[in-house]
Structure 1
Amino acid sequence: MKQNDSFQELDNELNENREHAEMDNENTAAQADTDASSTEEGNVEVLDASHLKSEVQRLQTLADDYQQRSLRTQADFDNFRKRTQKEKEDFAKYASSKLITELLPIIDNFERAISASGDIADNDSFAKGVGMIFRQLEGVLKAEGLEPMEAVGQPFNPEFHQAIMQVESDEHEEGIVVEEVQKGYMLKDRVLRPAMVKVSM
């Protein structure tokens, strides 16, 4: 009877140990599942953060590019506006240049007539009348910005002078305008017609 009781106790103990082992296995498996789930969630979080960081960098680069394009466009527009404004001002400033250029030969003829009238006897009234007309025309053109050049005695400058001849001169060193054949004119700060001159050699 005692032996049966012992067997029964051993059997009970084995059953208990088996139950405990099964519970431990179940707990271990559950913990493993939990750890695996946590690891996956962590990986997902890391992937999401990396993706967001990459997307932020891409958008920042795109925004910088748009800003640079905007600045370049603004600069181009400002340059265009300034250039257009200057062209408009230049056009207004020199709008009368074509008319004045056509009038220059008339001024030349007036000057020749006044000079020739001095050789004609009893022609004072004619000379005075022509001189008065010439001064009136000269005043109108001067009001538009026309100014004659001072060429004689100046160093030859191809921007202002057109040399038609070189002459020997004891009074001037080489490269000096010694005679003005046709007067040159400036319209404001621009050469309207260069002076025809003779230059010392």
Structure 2
Amino acid sequence: MKEEYQDINTVPEDTNAEIVEEVNEEQSTSSLEQEPVSIAEMERLQALADENQLRVLRTQADFDNYRKRTQKEKEEFAKYASTKLITELLPIVDNFERAFSAVVEDHLNESFSKGMNMIYRQLEGVLQAEGLVAMESVGQTFNPEFHQAIMQVESEEYPEGTVVEEVQKGYMLKDKVLRPAMVKVSQ
């Protein structure tokens, strides 16, 4: 039977009281009047001491496990703390990419396009510094952990089960898939 205590001061009084009472009874007898302790009594006291020792060891092990678990949770939280913000920024990155693909070369819009491109590259640099990496999908074998198939298409260029086209980029944050790529897969 395992008992868990939040604080050392919350150990049940009766457990402590038993031990204190036994020690007091043994000490109250004067050394001249003290009777020899029977083997059964010694074995009982040894069993009690062993039980208390096991409780202490279990409590120490539980605390050590708790400390390691909370340390690991803190590290995990710090590693992926920016996940929510990056997830909310991904549609903005997508819109930048769509805007660049729709830009018509025009001398009037050339400086505007260069400025937008500089802003996009700056945003991309910040996201990469946080550990965001775009996944390369086209030509890869379809993997449901990294890809979300939205359509199957006939393809003579690619073998069956290969990503033919990327409809929306997928991203990884450090070693975790943040957003799977939406892809078309060959039949």
SS of alignment partner, residue 139 of structure 2: coil
The letter of the residue matching 1:200 is S
SS of alignment partner, residue 159 of structure 1: coil
> Do structure 1's residue 115 and structure 2's residue 98 form an aligned pair?
no
1:125-164 deviation line (CA, Å, top 9, x unaligned): 2221111110011011111111111111222122211111
TM-score by length of 1: 0.70
The correspondence of residues 5-154 of structure 1 with structure 2, limited to 5 A, is 52-117=38-103, 119-122=104-107, 123-154=109-140
Whole-Å Cα distance in 2 between the matches of residues 166 and 156 of structure 1?
11
Map of 1:168 onto structure 2: 154
Report the alpha carbon displacement of residue 58 of structure 1 after superposing the two structures with TM: 1.1
SS of alignment partner, residue 87 of structure 2: helix
> Do structure 1's residue 199 and structure 2's residue 182 form an aligned pair?
no
Query: Identity, % of aligned pairs?
Result: 74
State the aligned residue count: 152
Larger Rg belongs to? 1
Structure 2 gaps, min length 5: 1-34
Whole-Å Cα distance in 1 between the matches of residues 57 and 156 of structure 2?
64
Q: CA RMSD in A?
A: 1.6
Whole-Å Cα distance in 2 between the matches of residues 174 and 60 of structure 1?
72
- Structure 1 runs (4+) deviating above 4 angstroms are none
TM-score by length of 2: 0.75
Map of 2:143 onto structure 1: 157
Whole-Å Cα distance in 2 between the matches of residues 74 and 175 of structure 1?
53
The letter of the residue matching 1:121 is D
Higher helix share: 1
Structure 1 gaps, min length 5: 1-47
